[in-house]
Amino acid sequence: MSTGKNGAASLFTHQDADLLDPRTRDTVIAAANGIAERTGIKLDGISCEADRITIHVEGPTLTAIGLLAELRRSTDHWHVERFGSHLWMTGPDDERDFPVGEGG
């Protein structure tokens, strides 16, 4: 990781989605890298768990949030078209319990 000011943000999956599925995970990571490259954002790292992706960027947390907003838009659309269900949390109807201090 770099020594500059770094930000990070996470995006949580819909309760029925799984980022450990290799095809889904690879697609989401490739999309995140593509967005970063097109927008000039320097990534410091990407981590995926079954229920979330976390993006680390060189720059403020707001930069990571912006990247995740575009990632959410594009990959959720892809997932709905391909699998018929949302990839990312959709709102209060997505009723998953989170550890204290975390949420979607």
6-83 in CATH: which number? Answer: 3.30.70.1290
Q: Which two tokens stand for residue 80?
A: 């709905």
For the chain, the domains span 6-83
Q: Residue 69: which pLDDT band, with cuts at 50, 70 and 90? A: very high
Q: Return the bridge partners of 11, or none.
A: 53
Q: Enter the DSSP assignment of 42.
A: P
pTM of the shown model: 0.82
pLDDT, tens only, 24-64: 999 999 999 999 999 999 999 999 999 999 999 999 999 99
How many CA atoms does the CB half-sphere of 11 hold within 13 Å? 28
Burial class of residue 84 in the structure, from the number of CB atoms within 10 Å of its CB (0-12 exposed, 13-18 middle, 19+ buried): exposed
pLDDT, tens only, 14-27: 988 889 999 999 99
Q: Is 43 helix (H, G, I), strand (E, B) or coil?
A: strand
Q: Residue 1: which pLDDT band, with cuts at 50, 70 and 90? A: very low
